[in-house]
Structure formats: structure tokens, C-alpha cells
Amino acid sequence: MNILFNGLAILFSLVSLAMVGPFLAILFDESLVIPDSVPQFDFTINSLIEYFKYHLSTVVLENGKAKGLLLICVLVAVVFFFKNIFRYAALYALIPIRNGVVKDLREEIYDKILKLPISFLNEQRKGDIITRTSVDVVEVEWGVLSVLESMFKEPLTILLYLGALLYISPLLTMIVLIVLPLTGVFIATIAKSLKRTSLAAQSKQSNLISIFEETLGGLRIVKAFNAQSNLASKFEKENSEQTQLMNKVMHRKELASPLTEVLAISVVVLVLYIGGKIVLEGEMRLTAESFITFMLIFSQIINPAKALTTAYYRVVKGIASMDRIKEILDEADDVKDESNKLQLPAFTKSIEYKNVSFNYDDQSNAIVLKNINSEINKGQTVALVGSSGAGKSTFVDLLARFFDVKAGSILIDGQDIRNFTTNSLRSQMGIVSQDPILFNDTVFNNIALGTANASKEEVINAAKIANAHLFIDKLENGYDTFIGDRGNKLSGGEKQRLTIARAVLKNPPILILDEATSSLDAESEKLVQEALLKLMQNRTSIVIAHRLSTIQHADEIWVMKGGKIVEQGKHSELLAYDSFYKKLASLQGF
């Protein structure tokens, strides 16, 4: 529809220009002759010109030149009215496409981020990802989609105008077709450097947003260590470099329009000289009125050429951003669900690690887990202890398939978890981490996260089990209270109890507690610990803990060191001999 309406708009514009030459010749010619019969009307160019000449000559001879001039003005007004009607219709048709592409692109990026492996997000700076999913998308919108209409319209305009020029004078048109591509090559050369500079500028933009994000997240520490000047200097350096790059980008971008105009006018002057010489010498049957029409139409090619060149520059700049977005969209997912994956049935027996080894891709020489062989029976509580870096968190991350094992296998009820979809696997797990992950939403929605169609009664009951109902009830709007970014309107203990309530509501058969009480004060820890004990009842639980006092009643304690399970047993059993666990316990004073 856009191409159709643009074609009609260009056609009406061309008609108005084509009328000017013959009309001028009639208006200023004293010896007008009306043909004996009305010219036969058809849709050829010659027929249209002769038909208008006949009727205009009749009006001029019968009513005078003033009436003829009025007729010309009315015709031009009508033609331009229809031209602009179709012009608006063309733009109207394209708007849903332009906005729809942006919508789809944003959704595709967001969906991809939700599917990306944890390893990718750990390796990338948040600021860079945010830049690619926000600033770069805006750049694509303004750099590519905003000129999408121009990319359809201007080439069509130039082609139709060149067709008219070719009809009027093939020789002059050939000169135009030889010279114009040479100017295009010159412009394209400059555009290549624009893309390179745009990529560098967008990279610097990512650095700036990363600094912003890190500063906002660590402002308390920045102020506490009087590091404002250091960060300010770092930001100013990156900002200055980005500004210099953007200056180069804008210099090249703004060069497009004047450069195109200068080159186009040079071509106009050349054609004007050659065509004028042909008219004066009476060669090749080129009349003055035909030459005037040719130059009028040719002059109208300049603006579409300028617009096309400007659009090309903007597209090149936008493609630089699109390339950065594609890096995210094309990122491979290490943990894939094949189409033939099965749904994991209800957990009934045990979780087993068989010869499991693992290392992160960016640390190929550092083996995080080494030949782990262990089994957790249904209903059992197993605690993982050990120094930082021993592999405890990786142990549970592999069970939830945040990463896939590099060697060996993890079995649930005797079946490899890689045979099942990640959704069906994780639906049977509840995770409470050291850092409570909450969202800028209501208390109700944070507790009900991932639990479809949860009722108010179910959410309240979960909050009560998690020792959270009392403080929620005291909030301004109760369960409908917004808790701020990452739940910053709540205390640490309150946030943790909300995440426990979320796990209670999910009611998973397998529970993973990753140092859930390590960052709390004594009073909050007591409340959270009580909530955790309620949560762990009748569930299979894996508890990671640094505070050994919190896991004394575990069915088994596994001590990890250097990626291996070096000791296992109950609390009293491990204290009965000179164990590594006993050394850890003595360091904590019990």
C-alpha cells in the first residue's frame, strides 16, 4: 500500500511538472491554433499532452490568457491536492509497520535475555546489555525505521522522474545516468567510515551506562570511601571520548545533505549547459519548452537524491546498532530444550550425581567440580559446607540446569535431567538465595511470582508460614503495597521472608537454600530460620550454609573442598574426629 500510494503521489507530482512546459508555450504564443477535431484521448504521454494543449488553447482563444492562467492554477492546485492525499495515505500505511517492527524487536530481545544462559549474563556488563536493549533499539528506530518510507519512496521517485527525462531527451538522461552513480560511489565511501565510528561511539555509550549502573548500585560505598573524584574522573574521561566520537559521527552524517546538493547542482549545471547548447544550435529536435520541462523535472530529482543519501547515512549508523543487537540475538544458549524433550514426572525417589565434573567456559583450566558422586534421597535434608570457591553454589546450579554438566550426569529418579524440559525440571524446585531477588511490584505479585492464578488466601497462608504476614499487614496498603526497586522499602529480614513465602506458595518437592540467612541480624535470622524450618518439612532440601549453627540438624552434612566432597556425615559424627568440618566449627566458636 505504501508503494502504491507513493507511486500515485509521484505520478501526480510528475503530471504537474510535465504540464508547465506546454502551458508556458501556449500562454506566451500569440499564434495559437486549435486543431479541427478533439485529439483522441488515451493513457499515453503524447495523448495526454496534446489533449491538455487542445483544451487550454480553446480556453485561451475564447476567454483570454487570464482565464487560461486561472485554469492552470486550478489544475495545479487539484493535482497537488491529490498528490498530498496519496502522500499521507502512503505514510499512514507504513506507520503500523514501523512501530510493529520496533515492538517485535523489543520483544525478541527481551525474550532472548530471559532465555540466555546465566554464564552469558555473568560475563557481560549490565550497562552494555542495557545499552544494546534500549539505546541501540532507539537508534535502530530512528536510524533505520524512521527512514524506511524514504527507502521506498525516493528510489521510486527517481526512477519515475528518470523515465520522464528519458522520454524527453535520451541524450541528456544518459549524461545524468553516467554522472550520478559516480557521486554515489563517493558518498558510499564516506558512509563506510561512518559505520565504523558509530560502532565505536555505541561501545563508549555502553561504558557510560555501565558506570552509571555501577555507581547507582554502589553509591553508599562510593561515598563511604570518598571515591567520588575517582569515579568522576573515570566518567569524564569516557564521556569526553564518547563526545569526540559522536562529533565525528555527526560531522559525517550532517555532511550528507550539503555534499549531495553540491554534487547534484554540479550535475544540473553540466546538463543545463549541454541542453542549452543543443536548443540554441537546433540539434536533435529538442525544443525550448521540452528543455524547460526536462530541467524542471530534473531539478526535482535533487531533493529525493538528498533525502535518499541522508537516509542512507542514517541507515548505516542504525545498522551499526543493529549489529550490536544481533550479537545478543545470535548468542547461543548452552542449556537447550530440544523439541522432543519430555516433561519431568513428579519426584518420588532420589537425586543422584554420577561422575559429575564441571568448569566454566571462560576458565577452562579451573575445574570447579571434580568427579562428584553422591545421592540425596526424597525427604532428606543435605547441607553443603566449605570455604568460598569450593563449588557449593555450582553444585546446586547444575541441578537447576543454570549450566549443564561437562562430564557425567545428574539423575532424578534414575533419569538424566537433560532428557526433560527445563520448565518441568524447575517447576519442582524452590530456591531461596542469599540475596533476596524482589521486583518493583506489589507484595502480592512478588510472592505469587511464577505461580499462576494464586488466590489471595493462598498468598496470605504462604506469608504466615514464612513469618511475613504480620509485617505485611502493617504496610500502608498491605499486600497491595509496592516495595520499590529490588524491595528497597523493606528490611533485609523482611525481604528474605517474602522470598521464603514465594517458595512456600510454589510448594516444590525439592528445596534449595543458598545461604539464606547469612546476611541477617540475629533477630531477623531467628524469624527467617523458623520460616525455613516450616518450609523444609516433608521436602527434599539442599542447604548451603557458612554458619554451621544453622545446619546442625541436617540429615547429612557434606563438606566440599577443591570441587570435591571430602567428608560427609551428621553434625555429631563429623565433630567426633579430627575432620575438616571440626576445624570449620572451631573457627566459628562452637
3-state percent helix, strand, coil for the chain, nearest multiple of 5: 65, 10, 25
How large is the average pLDDT for residues 154-173? 82
Query: What pLDDT, in 10s, does the model give residues 289-337?
Result: 777 777 777 777 767 776 777 677 777 777 878 888 888 888 776 666 6
CB 133 within 8 A of CB 328: yes
Gap between the Cα atoms of 573 and 570, Å rounded: 5
> Is the model's pLDDT at 127 over the cut of 80?
no
CATH of domain 117-333: 1.20.1560.10
* DSSP character at residue 145: G
Query: What pLDDT, in 10s, does the model give residues 489-538?
Result: 888 888 888 888 888 888 888 888 887 666 566 666 777 777 777 777 88
Helix (H) or strand (E) holding 416: strand 415-416
SS (H, E, C) 307-359: HHHHHHHHHHHHHHHHHHHHHHHCCCCCCCCCCCCECCCCCCCEEEEEEEEEC
Output the nine-digit C-alpha cell for 90.
502512503
Give percent above pLDDT 90 in the chain.
4
> Is the model's pLDDT at 32 over the cut of 60?
no
Helix (H) or strand (E) holding 542: strand 540-544
CB 112 within 8 A of CB 328: yes
Nearest by Cα to 132 from 266, 325, 296: 325
E-strand stretches of 53-144: none
Mean pLDDT in the chain?
Answer: 79
Question: CB burial class (10 A; 0-12, 13-18, 19+) of residue 583?
Answer: exposed
The residue ranges of every structural domain in the chain are 1-115, 117-333, 350-369+376-587
Give the gyration radius of the chain's Cα atoms. 37
> Among positive and negative, which fits the CA dihedral 264, 265, 271, 274?
negative
Task: Indicate whether this model's pTM tops 0.95.
Answer: no
Gap between the Cα atoms of 9 and 87, Å rounded: 6
> Is the model's pLDDT at 427 over the cut of 90?
no
How large is the average pLDDT for residues 61-67? 75
Gap between the Cα atoms of 385 and 312, Å rounded: 60
For residue 30, what pLDDT is reported? 47
CB 296 within 8 A of CB 172: no
Cα-Cα-Cα-Cα torsion 539, 542, 544, 545, nearest 10 degrees, comes to: 50
Question: CB burial class (10 A; 0-12, 13-18, 19+) of residue 34?
Answer: middle
CB 473 within 8 A of CB 514: no
Gap between the Cα atoms of 491 and 519, Å rounded: 11
Query: What pLDDT, in 10s, does the model give residues 233-260?
Result: 888 888 888 888 888 877 776 776 677 6
For residue 256, what pLDDT is reported? 66
β-bridge pairing 556-561 and 381-385: parallel
Where on the phi/psi map is residue 511: left (φ > 0), alpha (ψ -120 to 50), or beta? beta
CB 487 within 8 A of CB 468: no
Q: Across the chain, how many H-helices and E-strands are there? A: 20, 10
The region of weakest confidence among 130-134, 284-288, 480-484, 549-553 is 284-288
Top-level class of domain 350-369+376-587 = alpha beta
pLDDT-based confidence at 155, cuts 50/70/90?
A: confident
CB 175 within 8 A of CB 271: yes
* DSSP character at residue 38: P
Please give the single-letter amino acid code of residue 514.
D
How large is the average pLDDT for residues 183-188? 68
Query: What is the total residue count of the chain?
Result: 590
Helix 135-143 × helix 126-133 angle, to 10° = 30
How large is the average pLDDT for residues 538-554? 81
Chain CA centroid to CA 426, Å: 27
Nearest by Cα to 472 from 445, 454, 450: 445
